[in-house]
């Protein structure tokens, strides 16, 4: 019958080194996985609505305090189909049209 070998106990300093190496590897893996999960800037680039001389005042989202980055991320999600099929989004705030966007297959005529 085969005898099992007994493991030699490791000195405390060796165990401490192993724990430190394991801890560092775990820490780096966690940091790198979190960095990879951070969303980047939106793909969408905001342009203000065009004045059509139709009596509707236009402005920018900055004029009314809307964050461009947040709006860009929303547009990216719409384009990715997260909200189903949307034809368009218009934002009218403080007496001005500040956002007008039409999505795939739809446009203003």
99 C-beta neighbours (distance < 10 Å), count = 22
Q: pTM of the predicted model, to two decimals? A: 0.58
* Distance from C-alpha of 109 to C-alpha of 92, rounded to nearest angstrom: 19
Per-residue burial over 57-70, b if 16 or more Cβ lie within 10 Å, else e, is ebbebeeeeeeeee
Per this entry, what is the length of the chain? 109
Q: pLDDT tens for residues 23-78?
A: 666 666 665 555 445 555 668 888 899 999 899 999 999 999 999 888 989 999 99
Q: pLDDT tens for residues 1-34?
A: 566 666 665 556 666 777 776 666 666 666 555 5
């Amino acid at each position: 019958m085969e005898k099992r070998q007994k493991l030699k106990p490791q000195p405390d300093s060796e165990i401490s080194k192993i724990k430190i190496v394991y801890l560092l590897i775990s820490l780096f893996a966690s940091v790198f996985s979190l960095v990879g999960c951070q969303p980047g800037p939106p793909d969408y680039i905001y342009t203000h609505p065009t004045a059509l001389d139709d009596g509707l005042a236009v402005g920018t989202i900055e004029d009314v305090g809307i964050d461009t980055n947040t709006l860009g991320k929303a547009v990216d999600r719409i384009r990715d189909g997260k909200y189903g099929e949307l034809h368009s989004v218009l934002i009218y705030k403080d007496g001005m049209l500040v956002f007008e966007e039409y999505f795939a297959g739809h446009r203003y005529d």
